[in-house]
Structure 1
Amino acid sequence: MAEVDAASISTVTPGEPDLWFVLPPGFFEMKLDESGEDRMLRMADAVDPMFSGTTPEQKMSLILSSEYAIESMLDAGAVHLSTCLYRRDDEGISQGMLAVFIKRLGSTQRLDIAQGIADQWLAENPEAEVGGVILPYGPAALCILEREIPVPGAMFDTTEDGVAALRQLQLALPLRSGTHTAVFAFSTEDVDQWDNYLQVIAEILRTISAEEPALEPDGATPQPTVG
């Protein structure tokens, strides 16, 4: 996959953040208070110059499916949303979405919280890949699973509803404040590119920090969120 642009980042929520992460090139932050119409217009403006070889139908499908996923994540309480666009080797478009949630679940025993979340995920999804990981920030629970998301036919001007099959990586990271847990969720329908996406997401997760990172002049901008 080829990088196409750098992310444009701003503060997610008011207040002093105690958790930062860096988005690599190819990611675009979505404005949480933006209307759906404005989001789709902005997505169209981003897609047109980067993927001029795609058909209008392909672009419309990309925009509509992205908007439906964004609305679903907003309804679930996301405090950060970003989408990524990459060129596939076959010149097609590969898309993914990163959402961050802040849950009121915490303890000074952060390893125990992470283990408890991992146990719960495994109980809920026995076929998922579940385990623990130690990031520079601290211990976290990790889950990779396959999901099917219902898609209303009205999104594509048809009377029949559909289903979108996607692969998702979830990471639950108990925050050092001891009162909250950050949940990162990355999803994509492009399962063929999953190994490439794992490298990208691993890069993001390694940048999670309680302090604003120092960046090179041409680097991506750090993303703050609160816990």
Structure 2
Amino acid sequence: MTPTAGSSAPDIPAASAAEPPPVWFLTPEGFFALPLADGPAERVERAESFVRQLYSRGSEEIWAPAAPTYATLAERIGATGVSYAALGLFSTSERERTPTGDVARHDLAEGAAQCAFTLAAVPTEQEAGAVDVVAQGIVAALSRDTLNDVQWLDLPCGPAVSCVTWREYQLGPEVTATAEPAAFVTAEMQVHVPFPTGPFTAVFTLVTASIDHWSQFVDMMGGILQTVSFTDPAEALTE
């Protein structure tokens, strides 16, 4: 793992200002990574695999038209600087065990909650090791909006800042199932984690409209953040 905030981070080489260094993290079962890739041919290939995982009970009638859609979506997301994007699909069934005591594998047809999850590296021009300074600046900037719920986090990889924002959109009757105006509410958690090497900050974003399950998504995000590392965990195990 990376040294804690305030250390000189002697084991981590300085990062190039042109491209962010790698970052490692784990996501839970139920996350399906979008087919981000540099070239169109690879995006198409990954998209075909992606739709088969996402719609595992589907058929070519579903997969064939869906794959180009997700390939195009991946291209557009990748162009924004996002390096990882995933869709999360989770059963809302409360039954955790089968009658024999095994972990229950639920059919999403019983009910599903979904989210979108992304990672991007944003230039922040800090010097190597100056993670506290960057995090304090992020707190100050995000706190200017009184609608933001901003909190300081101490993660195993160093300091971070979380920002939770709720948004409400008014939908017209032409797009609702009831043909009546309706409110559409989303919740977003964005967590900024400064790279100890500088000069970037990793920004993890989780957005969902399944607000009845927001507390579970918060716990899920917390679990992901506990695994974030700026050094290869596999190398740490061999030391």
**Letter paired with 2:213:** Q
Corresponding residue for residue 141 of structure 2 = 120
How many residue pairs get aligned? The number is 183
What's the TM-score, normalizing by structure 2? Answer: 0.62
Displacement of 1:144 in angstroms is: 0.5
- Verify the 8 A CA contact 1:142 1:170 in the aligned structure 2: yes
Cα deviation code 1:1-37 (max 9, x no counterpart): xxxxxxxxxxxxxx89542111221112112137688
Which range moves more in the overlay, 204-213 or 162-171? Answer: 162-171
Find the structure with the greater CA-based Rg.
2
CA distance in 1, matches of 2:212, 2:140: 28
Displacement of 1:70 in angstroms is: 5.8
% of aligned pairs identical? Answer: 25
Cα deviation code 1:153-212 (max 9, x no counterpart): xxxxxxxxx996321111111111121111111111111111111111111100011222
Of 22, 25, 28, which aligns to 2:32?
28
CA distance in 1, matches of 2:151, 2:143: 9
RMSD: 3.9
Flag the 1:93–1:168 CA change in 2: closer, same or farther, 3 A: same
The 5 Å alignment of 1:24-173 reads: 24-33=28-37, 44-49=51-56, 73-89=77-93, 91-105=110-124, 106-107=126-127, 108-123=129-144, 125-147=145-167, 165-173=185-193
What's the TM-score, normalizing by structure 1? Answer: 0.65
Higher normalized contact order (CA 8 Å, seq sep 6+, divided by chain length): 1
Flag the 1:78–1:147 CA change in 2: closer, same or farther, 3 A: farther
Corresponding residue for residue 6 of structure 2 = none
CA distance in 2, matches of 1:68, 1:148: 27
Gap runs ≥5 in structure 1 = 1-14, 57-62, 152-161, 215-227
CA distance in 2, matches of 1:18, 1:194: 29
